[in-house]
Every structure is written in C-alpha cells, then in structure tokens.
Amino acid sequence: MKKLAIMVAAHKAYEFPADEGYLPVQVGRAIAPAALPFAGDDSGENISDLNRSFCELTGLYWMWKNVRAEAYGLSHYRRHFRPLGEGVEVAGQRVATSAELSGLLARHDIVLSRPRNYWIESVRKHYQNAHNGEDLVALERVIRERSPEYLHAFDETLSRTRVSLYNMFVMREAHFDAYCRWLFDILFEMRKRIAWQEYGPYQGRVFGFLGERLLNVWTLHNIPVERVAYLPVVNLEGEDLVEKAKGLLKRKLTGVKPA
C-alpha cells in the first residue's frame, strides 16, 4: 500500500514529477483517441466515459475505487502544489514532493490550493456570471434533500469572495473516502436534475466546476480551520492573472459567458 498516492490528471503526454508518490493518470481514456503510456481511468470500477462533463473527477473516482493508500491527493499535469523546501523539478520549475505533502498531514487534516480572491464579487456571483446560475439552485436543492447538515457550509462558501480551485487536495484515507462518498452522491444526482447534455464544450464541464466549490463546502463542514493547510499552486505553463481579471470584469459588465 502506498503511503501517499497523488493522482496527476492528464489528457496528453507530459513531464511528471520524478517522485514515487505521484501517479499520472490519463483521464477520460475510455473516450480518448488513443491510450497514453501511463495508467488510465478506464480500468476497474470507473466513470471514464463521463470525462467531458466531470473533467479530472473521473480520475478521482477511479483512484477512489481502485487505488489503496494511506493518503490521497489530486494535482494536474500542469498544476502542482508549490514546495515547502527544495521540492522536485518538473519542466524547469519546482513542485512539492510527496514527502513534503505527507509531512503536512502530520499537523493538518487536508491540504488545499491557496484560495483565489475575486475581491469584487462573491463565489456565488462569480459562478452565476461565468456559468449557469440555475445549476447552483439545483445544487442547493440536492444538498437540502440529501445532506441538509451541509446547507450552512454551502451558503457560507458561496457568500465568501475566496475559494480554493482546481479540485486539488491532499488528505488521509478516512477523510478521502468520506469526501468521495458525499461528492459523487451529490454529483450523480445533479446529472438527473440539469440539462448538462445541452451545454457547450466549456460549460459542459459543469460537474468539474461544481466539484471545485463542493470541495470547499465539504472542508468547511468537516475540518476545523486550524487543521487546513493552504499551498500556492505552480502552473508549469504560466498563468496570466491580468487576463483572468479582465475576463471576470467583462463577464460581470456584459453578461456574456463562454460557451
């Protein structure tokens, strides 16, 4: 059994951390043109064919059902947690080692990406401006029906201006199992409630987008604030935050959303 299994969600060949704790996984392999030379999310119990709407969460589901470890994590082929110390080099940048991330779990229950602050709008308003706002209404109904004890955390998460993104985390097995049970119960029910099949390529990734918010909801409800560690994210291909801010303002002012 692995001490820590960090799934690296990927849909193309890439450079991955040379660290035994990292596990590259081709997400959506069941519907991909070709198999890549590393593990895929289409073996064992899986939802690989839902990748267009679930994004990296098909890999998360596969890891939950098929990989045994003492702790689990999720990163992306181009997004990783920034190292606390020297780290390991990937594509010319340093990312956290599995040993560093395991060490954080000695003092914390979960590691998340450092929250992004939208400053001028709440998480709820940001989602409404960027995506289908009615999906949040449906999500609240599902939570009210299936996990009403999470309603306060749901409302508080959406009323804030800061949110951890990318579905990235590290947590021990007991929390991981509880989180996945809760998350996929809600998302599978949401598939029945919204017209996701009618969405365009970008908005069609709806369950990945909702999952990002739900990870924050689950954490707020279950983990004391002092037991949560936040790490910056290294984007191996760079990220233009100015352009992102311009996009946020444009959507807010014009109401035009990406398809």
Residue 244 pLDDT more than 90? no
- Per-chain mean pLDDT for the chain: 94
- Write out pLDDT tens, residues 158-197: 999 999 999 999 999 999 999 999 999 999 999 999 999 9
- List, in order of start, the domains of the chain with CATH numbers: 2-254 (3.90.550)
pLDDT band at 37 (very low <50, low <70, confident <90, very high): very high
User: Does position 241 have pLDDT exceeding 60, yes or no?
Assistant: no
- In the chain, the amino acid numbered 165 is L
- How many other C-beta atoms lie within 10 A of the C-beta of residue 108? 19
Diameter of the chain by CA atoms?
52
Q: Contact 2/67 with Cβ under 8 angstroms? A: yes
Convert the pLDDT of each residue in 111-158 to its tens digit: 999 999 999 999 999 999 999 999 999 999 999 999 999 999 999 999
The predicted-structure confidence for 19-32, as pLDDT tens digits, reads as follows 999 999 999 999 99
